[in-house]
Chain A
Amino acid sequence: MHALHQVYRTFFYPHSFRLSLPDVWAGFQLNIKMMVIAEVLVLVLALALAIVRGLPGPAAKPLRALAIAYTDFFRGTPLILVAFIIGFGVPGLQLGFISNQHVIVYGITALTLVYTAYVTEVYRAGIESVHPSQRAAARSLGLSYAQTMRYVVVPQAVRRVIPPLLNDFVGLQKDTAIISVIGVGEATQLAQQFSTQNNDFPSLVAAAVFFILLTIPLARFTDHLVAQRERRERAQAF
């Protein structure tokens, strides 16, 4: 009984919970902000990068190589290192405007750089999954390469990759916590401070609950999309 009580006091003590909640909630709003901005940027940049990687012909080779180098680099580097390098390194450069941004801007930049690399691969898989005969049909009608991508290939690719894409975004949501290491007062950091001051952990549990509550709807939505697609494909097969 004593041990159970210890667990209760340490992690779930309602008083500490209540006391920490306003701070943790305030911090969590920063997580949401970083997440939303980074996700929008990632969606656009990753698509651009995936298209560059698929450009045909020898003339586009340097561009393709650059896109490959980018994904290799940022998929291979832990987010926490990218956060340190951007968050502490860029202000140190003293480059005027670029070096005088709020720390949250560096956090969003680090998240965007890393997740763009992941999502580029997701988009690329989607683009490659569109059957070559679709491109042949579009090009045969006199559409240019760019028009074929814009109206025929990319719309089909995006539809197919929405579930894995949302999955990556669950990861991004959680990884906003890592941005605390460069001094962004988001939920994890404020909860951690509260926990140190009071020598207990309900504040951290509260932060965890916020993350979970944000993730569950997205996960269920992803499941729903996958199930819907399976239903449709089965309907088509018969």
Chain B
Amino acid sequence: MSTNGSTPFVHMRGVSKWFGSLNVLDKIDLDVAEHNVVCLIGASGSGKSTLLRCLNRLEHVEEGEIVVDGQQITDPKLDVNVLRRKVGIVFQAYNLFPHMTVLQNVVLAPRKAGGFSREGAESQARALLRRIGLESKADEYPDRLSGGQQQRVAIVRALAMGPKVLLLDEITSALDPQLVSEVLNLVRELAESGMTMIIATHEMGFAREVADKVCFLDAGRILEEGTPQEIFSAPKEPRTREFLSRVLEAEKLG
């Protein structure tokens, strides 16, 4: 499935990381096959975001190895800018560039780092915006868009670089509940189109639906992993059960 045939598309072995004395990632082993969707669940502070940020070298890893698309990304000599064109990431707070229009947000990286011509980048960007129904907003500034629209633009901005894997870091957590579904619909479409994705999420129903594999993180470790069926219907670890019942309760209250 992966390019060199022997290892999966994303391969993490014994990855550990500390913030000072806090062990945020503790011997993480994770494999993600191409065209698969892996969901990371777990409480805030369990290490989901940090794990994602290690995969595009926004964070530095102290121990272990990470291979993406056959390339050792823990190698200090690695050109991170090349890696990041392959590994897109979308953040909880969208992080659109507020001084640029929607179109400029989407074309910036393809033009400056992706080798696209101005025309090429713009026609691609317009096609992507059309696909998410926001072509009419191309010349608006981000603050004129709703949170859900901004987040969809952020996803499209990441897609414009043609990444081979997309990391989604709790991308619906900052959204009003009624805006969540428009973002999740887009992610669902991407999953159906075969995009490899690693998704940190609190949306359990969504994880259950789109994930090929679900990993439960607790205190920097992957405590349990399996198919959605295994994790959500028959969790083995008491911590997983406890977490899921708490989330379920919160959803009922909400």
Where the two chains meet, the residues of A that have a C-beta atom closer than 8 Å to any C-beta of B are: 133-134, 136-144, 147, 151-152, 155-156, 159, 236
Contacts and interface: CB of A to CB of B under 8 A. Distances in A.
Given A137-B97, A140-B84, 5 more contacts: A136-B95, A138-B109, A141-B157, A159-B99, A236-B143
B103 interface: no
A143 B108 CA distance: 9
B93 A143 contact: no
Contact of B109 (A133, A142, A155): A142
B113 A141 contact: yes
Given A133-B91, A137-B91, A236-B143, A142 B85 contact: yes
A138 to B, nearest CB: 8
Interface of B: 56, 58, 80-82, 84-85, 88-89, 91, 93, 95-99, 108-109, 112-114, 143, 157-158, 161
A139 B84 contact: yes
B113 A137 contact: no
B25 to A, nearest CB: 18
Nearest to B82: A142
B58 A141 contact: no
B99 A144 contact: no
Nearest to B95: A137
Interface of A, secondary structure class, is: helix
A151 B161 contact: no
A155 B100 CA distance: 10
Contacts of B89: 140
A141 B95 CA distance: 12
Contact of A151 (B56, B85, B108, B143): B108
A134 B97 contact: yes
A142 B91 contact: no
Contacts of B56: 140
16 contacts: A133-B95, A136-B58, A137-B91, A138-B97, A138-B109, A139-B58, A140-B56, A140-B158, A141-B108, A141-B157, A142-B82, A143-B81, A143-B112, A144-B113, A151-B97, A155-B99
Given A133-B91, A136-B91, A236-B143, A141 B109 contact: yes
Contacts of B82: 142
A213 B138 CA distance: 44
Contacts of B91: 133, 136-137
A126 B95 CA distance: 18
A147 B113 CA distance: 9
User: Which 10 pairs of residues, A with B, have the shortest CB-CB distance?
Assistant: A141-B109, A137-B95, A142-B85, A142-B113, A142-B84, A140-B89, A133-B95, A142-B81, A143-B113, A147-B112
Contacts of A138: 97, 108-109
Contacts of A143: 81, 108-109, 112-113
Nearest to A145: B81
A140 B114 contact: no
B142 to A, nearest CB: 11
A82 to B, nearest CB: 36
Contacts of B112: 143, 147, 151
Contacts of B95: 133-134, 136-137
Nearest to B158: A141
A137 B56 CA distance: 11
A218 B112 CA distance: 36
Given A133-B91, A151-B112, A144 B81 contact: yes
A203 B112 CA distance: 57
Nearest to B114: A142
Contacts of A136: 58, 91, 95
